Chains A and B, each alone.
Chain A
Amino acid sequence: MISAIANPRLRRRKLVSAAFRVLCAATAFVVVGILFALIFDLMLDGLPWLDIQFLSSFPSRFPELAGIKSALFGSLWLIGLTALFAVPIGVLAAIYMEEYAPQNRLTRLIELNIANLAGVPSIVYGLLGLALFVRFFALERSILAGALTMSLLVLPVIIIAAWEAIRAVPTSLREAAYGLGATRWQVVQSHVLPMAMPGILTGIILSLSRAIGETAPLIVMGALTYVAFVPEGPMDEFTTLPIQIFNWTANPQEAFQDLAAAGILVLLGILLVTNSIALAIRYWSTK
């Protein structure tokens, strides 16, 4: 009788298997470790600069006087306006695709188109905004032009997220409402939307979070200017937090790179809050 342990071939196979397992586990932990290394590195550089003065000052040539006030307000304006444009259009488009659209080639085309738009590099949207909003509609480098560009950028993402939430509403619910004689819109607004709302909200928050960190399209539109004032209307020039971070990182002086780290900590803090809200809504709605 051949003992399994004594069989050298089997032993080798088991050894390979064990080594592979260790390799995969090590890789996964290294990947996770990268995130912690990144955050640790940022805190080391940025934390000493992070104070009230940093949050409430305008950018400056002197690192100890510089802050992110105009960038914070610029980001706030930009995301506010983007949400104003993109959220209603995105949700209504999703409702159309799931509840209203007939099964035909046009619908298929729109669906394909939305999926492909979500994969277009953000810098291409920047050039679209430059040609269409900045130049053709002569909105200059205003918050409005930036928000319109960002709206086109996040629209496919919002549509896809809202669509998934609406699709998850059970069909039996719709059929019951139709059976009672409700019209399509009545079914949507009294049954489908309330049921899908948590999912839609989560999707919207996650999509807008992505817009908060976007840099390239705004730079391409020419938003990289020195802005030492708080914007007062949609036609004002603006800067945003990621743009300010980019600006400081590009500065060869080391103090400015530490300022960039402090700015990144604020940006990541904001994203942590928005993502937590989204996750909390998801958690609370599935309970």
Chain B
Amino acid sequence: MLRSSTSFATQRNRLLESTFGWLLFFCAAISVLTTVAVILILATETFRFFQSVSPFAFLFGTEWSPLIAPKHYGVLPLISGTLLVVVGASLVAVPLGLASAIYLSEYAAPRTRQIIKPILEVMAGIPTVVFGYFALTTVTPLLRQVFPELPIFNAASAAIVVGIMILPMVATLCDDALRSVPNPLRHAAYALGATPFEVTSRVVLPAALSGVFTSFVLAISRATGETMIVTMAAGAMPNLTFNPLESIQTMTAYIVQVSLGDASAGGITYQTLFALASILFLITFCLNLLAQRIMHQMREVYR
């Protein structure tokens, strides 16, 4: 009697167990379904887009004017706009982020560190729309005092502020990488009579290089997909230029510009959004994969 009740309980438990197992698996599978949905939707609409515009004209065309006749669908001006912002942002974030990280990990007193680290975390959590406001109302007027000819919407202001946005990410990740370098390496270098600068630049930095590069790649990926700052500060002018003092448009800013009108109406304008999103998706996907590769290599070095 006792035995049968035990086996009943076990049976019920087993049933519960397998039900829960499947429920949990389904929850995890939703993430895979999301990826499938993204790829499927991007691919279908891009394919439809390529039925009216040849992939060659799209990828190598130098004029982008899908909203005004004569319509051109050459993506290069948007690519150059995105590139300009990403390069400019990297020029701001990479040196400032790395230098801050070196200060935090190699020089700062523990108490200073405990104050600055949370401040960086706060900065990393600021919504991008706030940075967009900052670019338009503070950075652009400042830049215009230096360059009076500068248009209100310009690549430089957007690039600087995107750089500020990704800065905490670079600083935090570089700090983690630098701190993971074992202390005996530093002590050995000091024992040979190296100065702190020599220890940092010739021992610690080379040892942490993969982590540092990972942070750069991830930051570039973030900057590529950044939308609000470039929409609010860089303008809506598809412009094949590498002059940061001009108005430009990035891929993301174009998507927003169309969405502010009536994007859901369908048609070829609707399809351009997905063709651009495909490019964005591919670029960020490759960058993230690259970051994972570099990070993986770092782990193996330390084993």
Contacts A90-B27, A131-B41 aside, 5 further interface pairs with beta carbons under 8 A come to: A128-B34, A130-B259, A215-B129, A220-B259, A220-B273
Cβ proximity bits A220-253 to B, threshold 8 Å, 1 near / 0 not? 1110100000000000000000100110011000
Cβ proximity bits A240-279 to B, threshold 8 Å, 1 near / 0 not? 0010011001100000010011001001100100010000
Pick from B27, B133, B200, B287: contact of A96, CB below 8 A. B27
Take A41-B134, A95-B24, A246-B129 as given contacts and tell me if A27 and B100 are in contact as well, using a CB distance cutoff of 8 Å: yes
Pick from B32, B120, B287: contact of A113, CB below 8 A. B32
Pick from A27, A93, A264: contact of B24, CB below 8 A. A93
Take A115-B292, A117-B31 as given contacts and tell me if A260 and B122 are in contact as well, using a CB distance cutoff of 8 Å: no
Q: Is there contact, CB below 8 Å, between B252 and A123?
A: yes
Which residues of A lie under 8 Å from residue B14 when comparing CB positions? 183
Q: Is there contact, CB below 8 Å, between B28 and A214?
A: no
- Closest chain A residue, CB of each to CB of B93: A31
Total interface residues on A, using CB and 8 Å?
86
Take A117-B31, A220-B256 as given contacts and tell me if A92 and B280 are in contact as well, using a CB distance cutoff of 8 Å: no
Pick from A113, A121, A183: contact of B280, CB below 8 A. A121
Q: Is there contact, CB below 8 Å, between B103 and A183?
A: no
The 7 closest A-B pairs by CB, nearest first: A121-B225, A213-B127, A96-B24, A17-B197, A17-B195, A216-B227, A24-B103
Take A96-B25, A110-B28, A216-B227 as given contacts and tell me if A222 and B17 are in contact as well, using a CB distance cutoff of 8 Å: no
Q: Is there contact, CB below 8 Å, between B100 and A220?
A: no
Chain B 120-146 interface residues, beta-carbon cutoff 8 Å to A: 120, 122-123, 125-130, 132-134, 136-138
Q: Which of B38, B104, B107, B138 has the most CB of A within 10 A?
A: B38
Q: Is there contact, CB below 8 Å, between A123 and B17?
A: no
Q: Does B57 contact A (CB under 8 A)?
A: no
Q: Using C-beta atoms within 8 Å of the partner chain, give the interface range for chain B.
A: 35 or more
Which residues of A lie under 8 Å from residue B137 when comparing CB positions? 41, 45, 249, 257, 261
- Closest chain A residue, CB of each to CB of B45: A131
Q: Is there contact, CB below 8 Å, between B130 and A264?
A: yes
Q: Which of A24, A220, A264 has the most CB of B within 10 A?
A: A24
Q: Is there contact, CB below 8 Å, between A28 and B255?
A: no
Complex CA gap A121/B252 in Å reads 10
Chain B 177-229 interface residues, beta-carbon cutoff 8 Å to A: 195-198, 200-201, 218, 221, 224-228
Chain B 249-303 interface residues, beta-carbon cutoff 8 Å to A: 252, 255-256, 259-260, 262-264, 273-274, 277, 280-281, 284-285, 287-289, 292
Cβ proximity bits B128-170 to A, threshold 8 Å, 1 near / 0 not? 1110111011100000000000000000000000001001100
A57-65, A151-159, A191-199: which one contacts chain B? A151-159
Q: Is there contact, CB below 8 Å, between B232 and A159?
A: no
Q: Which of B13, B27, B102, B129 has the most CB of A within 10 A?
A: B129
Q: Is there contact, CB below 8 Å, between B128 and A213?
A: yes
Cβ proximity bits A28-52 to B, threshold 8 Å, 1 near / 0 not? 1011101101100110010000000
Which residues of B lie under 8 Å from residue A101 when comparing CB positions? 25, 28
Cβ proximity bits B100-114 to A, threshold 8 Å, 1 near / 0 not? 101110111000000
Take A128-B37, A185-B16, A215-B128 as given contacts and tell me if A155 and B30 are in contact as well, using a CB distance cutoff of 8 Å: yes
Provide a sorted-by-A list of 28 A–B residue pairs whose CB atoms are within 8 angstroms. Answer: A13-B197, A17-B197, A23-B99, A24-B100, A24-B102, A25-B103, A27-B95, A28-B99, A41-B134, A41-B137, A117-B34, A121-B226, A121-B281, A123-B227, A124-B38, A128-B37, A134-B264, A155-B34, A159-B31, A183-B14, A209-B125, A212-B127, A219-B256, A249-B137, A250-B232, A267-B127, A268-B130, A275-B125
Q: Does B51 contact A (CB under 8 A)?
A: no
Q: Is there contact, CB below 8 Å, between A28 and B24?
A: no
Q: Does A89 contact B (CB under 8 A)?
A: yes
Complex CA gap A263/B281 in Å reads 32
Tell me the minimal C-beta distance from B292 to chain A in angstroms: 7
Take A27-B100, A183-B17, A216-B256 as given contacts and tell me if A121 and B284 are in contact as well, using a CB distance cutoff of 8 Å: yes
Q: Is there contact, CB below 8 Å, between A27 and B96?
A: yes
Chain B 14-67 interface residues, beta-carbon cutoff 8 Å to A: 14, 16-17, 20-21, 23-25, 27-32, 34-35, 37-38, 41-42, 45
Q: Does A16 contact B (CB under 8 A)?
A: yes
Which residues of B lie under 8 Å from residue A214 when comparing CB positions? 127
Which residues of B lie under 8 Å from residue A219 when comparing CB positions? 256, 259-260
Q: Does B116 contact A (CB under 8 A)?
A: yes
Tell me the minimal C-beta distance from A261 to chain B in angstroms: 7
- Closest chain A residue, CB of each to CB of B251: A123
Take A245-B133, A249-B136 as given contacts and tell me if A127 and B125 are in contact as well, using a CB distance cutoff of 8 Å: no
Which residues of B lie under 8 Å from residue A165 when comparing CB positions? none
